Amino acid sequence: MRRNTLGTLIWLRIARFTHQSNLLSNDFLKPFGITAAQFDVLNQIATYQPIKQSELAVKATLSEGGISRMLTRLEQDGYIQRKQEWKTKWISLTSSGEAKMQEVFQHQLTFQTTMVDECLTEEEQKTLYKLMTKLQKNTENKLGC
Amino acid sequence: MRRNTLGTLIWLRIARFTHQSNLLSNDFLKPFGITAAQFDVLNQIATYQPIKQSELAVKATLSEGGISRMLTRLEQDGYIQRKQEWKTKWISLTSSGEAKMQEVFQHQLTFQTTMVDECLTEEEQKTLYKLMTKLQKNTENKLGC
DNA sequence: ACCAATCACTTGACTAGTAAACTGAAAAAG
DNA sequence: CTTTTTCAGTTTACTAGTCAAGTGATTGGT
């Protein structure tokens, strides 16, 4: 009892990093008036628009309900629009949303990149990316069952 | 624009893994009647009890408000108790909470360990742990400022 | 032509988290 | 002795997410 394995220590580090980096991201994005979660979704929309709501949920790894709520907020803030066609809703950025991404994207990219660059070498980053990809893909597969 | 760096790809992988592994953990813990977040807090209490509420917040990397709410829920479920002394509240497990941890801990440890073991070698795990530790410590330091 | 199934999305009830404003009692200051 | 500060914790108002039940229009079966 009360003895940890390497595996659980890895989980803990990852969980802590995610939580803390999220706080930092939210702090960083505050002046821009959006949250880290909103940035993620807007970024997916910018990349894939126009995109079905259900497909967006998959890209952002959110539940159907979760994406519905998030899009309601983003719509209220005027960043996105939903165009109903048959039974599907097509999501795209409004010009306001487009402008917001133009404003924020580069900053956020630099912010994230710097955080990693300042503590890991190029070689280490490649290794970390490879290992995290393995781990994440394995987890993703489990989720399907 | 729209070009990602290695750093942002790493962030994305980590975020996805955390989110997905959390879903899996919650699913796994469901039969035991607790959530992953509750397990984490109970685990910290088990390790450090009796512990001040404010110190527990630090250990669990939660805000003061967050830990207050979480403990209210855990108290309602009968897993923990808060003993007021002067102005601080000392948190410890009840016998029911102790029993629950006895029941769950080993399972959750095995669950997490297996997830990592089945896709990474011992060597890879050591490397991943080292790199994630660097990254997390760096993030933690930023948070203080 | 009608009833059932299905599809895409929404809603209700919940956990979980934050920041910021608020308590209430103790210690320190005058 | 009052008044003020301070400290630990709570509460409020919010975002963000889940699951599961509900909606409402279209499509299929008989």
User: Domain segments of chain A: what residues?
Assistant: 28-139
pLDDT of residue B3: 75
pLDDT of residue A87: 77
Residue among B143, B138, B5, B15 at smallest CA distance from A106: B5
Residue among B23, B66, B50 at smallest CA distance from A62: B23
CA–CA min distance B49, chain A (Å): 13
Residue type, A17: F
pLDDT of residue A145: 63
Spatial contact of B1 and A105, defined as CB atoms under 8 Å apart: yes
User: In chain B, which residues have their Cβ closer than 8 Å to the Cβ of A19?
Assistant: 61
Closest nucleotide (C1' vs CA) to A87 is: C8
CA–CA min distance A84, chain B (Å): 27
Number of other CB atoms surrounding residue B87 within 10 Å: 5
Q: Residue B86 CA to D4 C1' — how many Å? A: 20
Q: Which nucleotides of D are covered by protein (CB under 7 A)?
A: 7-13, 15-21, 24-26
Strands A88-93 and A51-52: antiparallel
Residues of chain B with pLDDT below 70 are 1-2, 145
**Residue A81 CB-half CA count within 13 A:** 8
How would you class B141 by CB atoms within 10 Å of its CB: exposed for 0-12, middle for 13-18, buried for 19 or more? exposed
pLDDT digits (tens, 9 = 90+) for B70-104: 999 999 999 999 998 877 899 999 999 999 999 99
Backbone angles phi, psi at A2, to 5 degrees: 60, 25
Spatial contact of A42 and A34, defined as CB atoms under 8 Å apart: yes
pLDDT of residue B2: 64
Q: Is CATH 1.10.10.10 the classification given to domain A28-139?
A: yes
Q: Measured between alpha carbons, how far apart are the two ends of chain A, in Å? A: 30
Q: Residue for token digits 């133009």?
A: A102
Mean pLDDT of the region A108-117: 95
Q: In what order do the strands lie in the sheet with A51-52?
A: A51-52, A88-93, A80-85
H runs (alpha helix) in chain A: 6-29, 36-48, 53-59, 64-76, 95-117, 122-144
Mean pLDDT of the region A86-109: 94
Distances (CA, A) of A35 to A28, A42, A95, B5, B13: 9, 10, 19, 21, 19
Q: Residue B62 CA to C21 C1' — how many Å? A: 19
Please tell me whether any atom of strand D lies within 7 Å of the Cβ of A70.
yes
Residue type, B15: A
CATH number of B7-144: 1.10.10.10
Please tell me whether any atom of strand D lies within 7 Å of the Cβ of B52.
yes
A32: DSSP letter: G
Spatial contact of B73 and A28, defined as CB atoms under 8 Å apart: no
Residue A130 Ramachandran class (φ > 0 left, ψ -120 to 50 alpha, else beta): alpha
Q: Residue for token digits 């080292």?
A: B130
Evaluate if residue A1 carries a pLDDT over 70. Answer: no
Q: Which nucleotides of C are covered by protein (CB under 7 A)?
A: 7-13, 15-21, 24-27
pLDDT of residue A2: 64
Please tell me whether any atom of strand D lies within 7 Å of the Cβ of A61.
yes
Backbone angles phi, psi at A85, to 5 degrees: -150, 120
pLDDT of residue B15: 96
Under the banding of pLDDT at 50, 70 and 90, the label for residue A60 is: very high
Lowest mean pLDDT among A84-88, A139-143, B59-63, B74-78: A84-88
**Residue A95 CB-half CA count within 13 A:** 0
B30: DSSP letter: G
pLDDT of residue B87: 78
Q: How far is it, in rounded angstroms, from Cα A60 to Cα A57? A: 5
Asked if the Cβ–Cβ distance from A17 to B112 is below 8 Å, we say no
A residues 53-112 lying closer than 8 A (beta carbon) to B: 61, 102, 105-106, 109, 112
Q: What is the dihedral of CA A23, A28, A32, A35, to 10 degrees?
A: -20
